[in-house]
Amino acid sequence: MDRTQFRRIALALTAAGVLALGWFTAPSRASEEAFIIPPPAADIAPIEGLKTFVLAGGCFWGVQGVYQHTKGVTNAVSGYAGGKASTANYEAIGRGTTGHAEAVQITYDPKQVTLGRLLQIYFSVVHDPTQLNRQGPDTGTQYRSTIFTSDSAERKLVQDYIAQLNGAKVYKKSIATTLEPLQGFYAAEDYHQDYLTLHPNQPYIVFNDLPKIENLKKIFAENYREKPALVRAAKASN
């Protein structure tokens, strides 16, 4: 276990202990609260074949877990985006100086789930989009709220949706999510893949991420699936 992972678990243990003692009555915004928000006013028309999309919203364990439980997503890989290949490793990005964000590459079938719905889930249950460089107990640019677009259609959809949500004052503060052109995506180390499924009793997961899965199931019931699409299963089938 490296220093960054140890810090993450220690923070979760501390928060869980505080709650158990009754000093606070509920977890943080990132832990359990979700917003019911409207879908994008316009979406990208479904096409044949699989598509990929990369986004970041805090620790990739929870982001990956949410999309692995989303119908139409065939694979969701934890990794790094925004920096160079030479620094795309967990120890380096933990310093917050590489330009990388903990990101997830989502492979999905547009005939089953649109990009607009994936974005709706992102802004609703995945994370708090009004915080730029912080989610829950994690702080730093590597935890930033960012969407990495690969073409003009994706960029326009995201920009229009953010403007729509801000205009409707869905949140008490303006959305802080930034857009960056996708320069490359680098899969994270194997021990980060399927982390939520493999470690459901780990304090960080229990406190910060399992509530996101419950919110997905509750708010997006028609898009929720019980059995996650695991990276290990995808590798085994190739």
Catalytic residue numbers read: 59
Give which of 26, 140, 158, 48 is closest to 90, Cα–Cα: 140
Query: Residue 207 and residue 212: Cα distance in Å, rounded?
Result: 10
Query: What residues contact 213, with CB distance under 8 A and at least 6 apart?
Result: 65, 66, 69, 196
Element (H, E) at 81: strand 73-81
Q: Which of 137, 134, 132, 139 is nearest to 179 (CA)?
A: 132
DSSP state of 98: S
Please report, in angstroms and rounded to a whole number, the separation of the first and last CA atoms in the chain. Answer: 29
